[in-house]
Amino acid sequence: MRISLKRLPAICGFSLLLGVALFSCSKDDDKMLDPGQKAFFTPTQSSASYSIVDANAIYKIPVGLTSPVSSGKTKTVNITATSSTGAVEGTQYSYTKTLTFTPDKITDTIVVTGVYAQYLSGRKDVVKFTFADAGDFSPSLNSSFTLNISGPCFEGDIVLEDFLGSYPNTVETFGANPSYGPYTTTISSVTSTGPTTGTVVVTNLWDNGWSPISFTLDWTDPSARTVVPIAMSAIGGSNAGDLNSGYEGITMAVRPFAGQPGTFSWCNQTLTLTLQLGVTGVGFFGSLYEVNMER
């Protein structure tokens, strides 16, 4: 069949367009499948928390390649880090800045080392790690990783609700008497009264049917936390005869012990309560009543 010469330019043009279209599809597929040696952060999550519990604590972020390096070759990938909270590399933390991949090594690790001393007072930072060179990664893969850095448990970060619940290892002493316990006390409710103050209600102190007693907590100075009882002139269910038979049937009173506030630890979930006990309408004993509450 003879093809008209007049039609040849159109056919050639159609073929050229078809070739461009096919080539374009191939490029799109390559981009979607990302067949080259692209680096990516291997964790499925794009962020994690790093708590610097001691001076030797580190965090490892694994990085992989989409395909192995050719025999006899190496590939280096540079890492950058930025912080939205002002953390400075070399001051608050350090990290592995260059990764090296070889034919038998398709994964490598960014080692992050936080400076322990920088995080002892409650400092918290957010650091984002990315690949320095655009040619080393693909937007279709995990191309960044965010690390939330904090120090060991800080007593200034108190969440009052964490104190709720039972303390089955409660032990108490009154003056020179032998200690009593363990037995179970409970913090039944908590109330915030300010940014660094609150109250807790403790049940079953004395382990003999007392009504609940409230205490004020203060962590304005996280290194010198205090807990003191709210004075009660008559503790429901109490009997001063437990201390002295001469006061049998009279309720007991309670107030802070002057000069000896108790303390507490949110991190360790413990409270040391110090109280002065008395007899309703009569007076107070000179001995310290101390209660150590532990989970």
Do 205 and 288 belong together in one domain? Answer: yes
* Residue 192: domain span: 160-294
In this predicted structure, what is the pLDDT of residue 18? 35
> Residue 14 is encoded by which pair of tokens?
């159609």
Query: For residue 42, how many other CB atoms are within 10 A of its CB?
Result: 14
Do 59 and 116 belong together in one domain? Answer: yes
Tell me: the pLDDT tens digits for 161-189? Answer: 999 999 999 999 999 999 999 999 999 99
Q: What is the DSSP string of 168-217?
A: EEEEEEETTSPPEEEEEEEEEEEEEEETTEEEEEEE-GGGTTPPPEEEEE
Do 199 and 76 belong together in one domain? Answer: no
Indicate the helix (H) or strand (E) that contains 136.
Answer: none
pTM, two decimal places = 0.75
Query: For residue 192, how many other CB atoms are within 10 A of its CB?
Result: 14
- Using an 8 Å Cβ cutoff, are 163 and 269 in contact? yes
In this predicted structure, what is the pLDDT of residue 31? 34
Mean pLDDT of 92-112: 97
Mark which of 150, 181, 214 sits at the end of a domain.
Answer: 150
Do 256 and 173 belong together in one domain? Answer: yes
Query: For residue 202, how many other CB atoms are within 10 A of its CB?
Result: 24
- What's the structural domain count of the chain? 2
Do 203 and 245 belong together in one domain? Answer: yes
Tell me: the pLDDT tens digits for 124-165? Answer: 999 999 999 999 999 899 999 999 999 999 999 999 999 999
Do 142 and 165 belong together in one domain? Answer: no
Long-range contacts, 67-73 (Cβ 8 Å, 24+): 67/35, 67/36, 67/37, 67/106, 68/103, 68/104, 68/106, 69/37, 69/101, 69/102, 69/103, 69/105, 69/106, 70/103, 71/103, 72/103, 73/102, 73/103
Is 26 inside any structural domain?
no
Tell me: the pLDDT tens digits for 1-50? Answer: 333 433 334 434 434 333 433 334 443 433 333 347 899 999 989 999 99
What CATH number is given to the structural domain containing 107?
Answer: 2.60.40.2030
pLDDT mean across residues, the chain: 90
Sign of the four-CA dihedral 199, 200, 206, 212: positive
3 state DSSP class of 223: coil
Tell me: the pLDDT tens digits for 246-268? Answer: 999 999 999 999 999 999 999 99
Is 14 inside any structural domain?
no
Do 221 and 250 belong together in one domain? Answer: yes
Q: What is the DSSP string of 61-78?
A: EEEEESSPPPTT--EEEE
Give the span between the Cα atoms of 107 and 119, in whole angstroms: 30
DSSP code for 265: E
